[in-house]
A and B are shown apart, each in its own frame.
Chain A
Amino acid sequence: MAHHAHETNTGIDNRKLGFWLFIASESIFFACLLVGYLVYKDGYQPGAGPRDLFNIELTTVSTFVLLMSSLAMVLGVNAAQRNLGRKARRWVLVTALMGLAFLGFQAYEFTHFYHAGLSLSSSVFGTAFYTLTGFHGAHVAVGVIWLLTLLYHGRGAGLTADKADDVEVAGLYWHFVDIVWIVLFTVLYLLEFVQ
């Protein structure tokens, strides 16, 4: 796949360009799910609604963890580009761990909400909430698997400069998933509490 990379018309590597297009497409995907949430978020009667359930402090912490994972990813990409293979590998590992931590927070939140009576079938709010955040969580999980694959790829000498493009493409995905979460956190959680 990579053998055309050095001579493209745009000067952008095929995989990177392809990935930007994928991200553009995925943005529409999340936008549609988000619209669905906005249409349905007030449909929680007679069960509990967002304000009764959301633990804003906890979600702020998990959001912070995910944001910081993007920083770790940047440092990983940077190290790979500077041919610091082992350092890059370490940062990618940190990114993956932070992603796992975020998923842990989400699992806790889902369990908690479920015990408070919110399920996929309990109301349209539940349906929309679990679908939207669940798809985001699934994207994070895919990202974690991807990062673990990178770690395997970089066994031995680490993620050296020849693998920098691989790390960068994974980084694009990771940042995208992170940015989606910032939007979701803002719209679902923060705006809910704006008077």
Chain B
Amino acid sequence: MATAAKTLGILPRPTAATGFWSWVATVDHKRIGILYGVTAFFFFLVGGIEAWLMRLQLARPGLELVTAKTFNALFTMHATTMIFLGVMPLLAAFMNYLLPLLIGARDVAFPRLNAFSYWIYLFGGIFINVGWLMGTAAGHVPDSGWFGYANLTSVEFSGGLGPDFWTLGLLLLGIGTLVSGFNFIVTILNMRAPGMSLMKMPIFVWTILVTSAIIIFAFPSVTVALIMLMFDRAFAANFFEVAAGGSVVFYQHLFWTFGHPEVYILILPAMGIVSEVLPVHARKMLFGYSVMVFSTALIGFMGFTVWSHHMFTVGMGPVVNSIFSLTTMAIAVPTGVKIFNWLSTMWGGQIRFTTAMLFAIGFIACFTIGGLSGFMHASAPSDAQQHDTYFVVAHIHYVLIGGSIFAIFSGIYHWFPKVFGRLLDERLGQWNFWLVFAGFHTFAFPFHFLGLLGMPRRIYTYAPGLGWEFWNLLSTIGVFVLAAGILVFIANVVVTMRKPMDAPADPWDGRTLEWTLPSPPPVYNFAVVPRVHLRDAFWFHKHPEGKEQALEYGEPHPGPIHLPGQSLMPVLLALGPTVAATGVLFVRMRESFAVPVIVAGFVIALLALWGWAFEGEGGTLIEPGEGS
């Protein structure tokens, strides 16, 4: 790595290139991506342990390993953790690390905001989990379901602090997610390498663009719902107090106008990852690129037209139910188009069954099953039967594990050498895949049968003789196999990280710009930003098919490259709202020092913003050269 030359700007910014504070103050999208990845994987394990405890409890009828209240806390925190602290940030890790590399940019549009997103995500994640330290019995762990339906969450029915940790924590997380959304859209629209028109972008970039658009339009409605809930609980407002004329169905509408698009926030980037992995390991161009682009955009739009299918049993009437049935079923069209495009991409390709490829193929298989059960829910009468049974649980696990998690593992194996300069062990990788694949189906497929046998979701135990024993036991065994697969993955990472950094720049014969860089890439990404003439430009640069030049390198940048300076303001700015949220928690506890704490939070945020605005451009000048 080049040496930091000189610091620009008025106020000094931190400059340490290594050590703890260099990570706290970093604004480099690659380091932020790694921070996201490690933190999210930790939370993913926490969510997994919560799932494991639930499966132990349900292994046999009549077990009393955990109390009903703890079970409620477990299923609530499992879903909340997996969705908001695990899968979304794992995908954000890919977006952060790869987006600038994929489009030939030196960083994202707003590096400091990017760091802020991470820190507020971390604080929000901790905030939601604090209740565990206070014990589940008093209701201080969120235990009203991941949707937090009013009036399960009203003070009357949830007197503990659980829903307060949940609403305030999610509000913090939402801020970070929104900021990432703005940041990514601006980066994609404004900072592509010369010649890379929108229709020449890697498909993963397209899915990031559409996902970010969904984020900025979907998160406001849940923000409003959470604010209303918080007002009801902390300030005795009446939004969802039925006795005062409040409407709990209004909460559901607000929640699901976010909640359904959220599903696509979780799956579109996963689809993007798979769409990058498949062509590389099948050594073929992605089939139907433009159709993939339009189906992505269409799914993004249609995601907003279907929220009421989560409320078929609320009693909205046959007309509303029919309309939302139709719009929901219509989403199967662009989704099906994608599946057939992936299959066509593999058709006739020179497929290498690497671990990354296995997970990508596994994704297609599992996600298709999840899509089919989704289509069954789309029919309102059928949904009325399946509602709140394990059939729904089967569906969400097939799209979220079989979909998002498989794609994430595929992406990890694919890009690990780029990020850490070492290739993950393929032999352990195969064990990893097959254990996860077998474990996942053993654990989640029985949910279909349990659902059809009428087992309701969210029950903490059940009586014997209902025909549920076998499938529940099988499912619990599956969790152990799945967990073994995850442990193999962790072992793989540990073993690999002990090896020397010897990964080549382009281990898979890749197609996109990140593979033109050394592994890991230099801090400035591209010493010379290439001019792009074709889709998959790097591939055609290596394997020219016609006369047209695919990639073109201009003259090197004259003089050193300016990189944005490190800053402590993002972490401070993230601290402000966290302190304010703690203050609101104290309001709820009727503590006398609540208001001063809220004020302190705002003061911290203001000071951070002040520092942000006036700490100067800062930055370091780096002489490109080494390794590129």
Contacts and interface: CB of A to CB of B under 8 A. Distances in A.
Contacts of A24: 216-217
A4 interface: yes
B348 interface: no
Contacts of B228: 36, 131
A121 B236 CA distance: 6
Interface string B220-243: 110111011001000111110100
A14 B220 contact: no
Contacts of B178: 25
A36 B189 CA distance: 34
B238 A21 contact: no
A27 to B, nearest CB: 8
Contacts of B192: 9
Contacts of B225: 32
Contacts of B247: 39-40
B110 A14 contact: yes
Nearest to B188: A9
Interface stretch (A65-73, A90-98, A122-130): A122-130
Q: Is the interface of B mostly helix, strand, loop or mixed?
A: helix
B12 interface: no
A54 to B, nearest CB: 20
A39 B228 CA distance: 13
Task: List the 4 closest A-B pairs by CB distance, nearest first.
Answer: A43-B245, A8-B190, A29-B220, A28-B220
B238 A10 contact: no
Contacts of A131: 227-228, 231, 237, 239
Interface of A: 1-4, 8-10, 12, 14, 17-18, 21-22, 24-26, 28-29, 31-33, 36, 39-40, 43, 120-121, 123-124, 126-128, 131, 145, 149, 153
Given A8-B190, A9-B192, A17-B189, 9 more contacts: A8-B189, A10-B189, A14-B109, A18-B182, A18-B185, A127-B238, A128-B239, A131-B227, A153-B613
Interface in B215-271: 216-217, 219-221, 223-225, 227-228, 231, 235-239, 241, 244-247, 250, 254, 257
Given A32-B221, A36-B224, A9 B191 contact: yes
Contacts of B223: 29
Contacts of B110: 1, 14, 18
Interface of B: 109-112, 178, 181-183, 185-186, 189-192, 216-217, 219-221, 223-225, 227-228, 231, 235-239, 241, 244-247, 250, 254, 257, 562, 564, 606, 610, 613-614, 617
Contacts of B236: 120-121
A83 to B, nearest CB: 21
A146 to B, nearest CB: 9
B244 A43 contact: yes
Nearest to B606: A145
B558 to A, nearest CB: 15
A149 B609 CA distance: 10
B190 A123 contact: no
Contacts of B190: 4, 8-10, 12, 14, 17
A33 B224 contact: yes
A21 B216 contact: yes
Nearest to B612: A1
A18 B186 contact: yes
A123 B564 contact: no
A17 B238 contact: no
Given A14-B109, A17-B186, A127 B237 contact: yes
Nearest to A16: B186
A89 B489 CA distance: 59
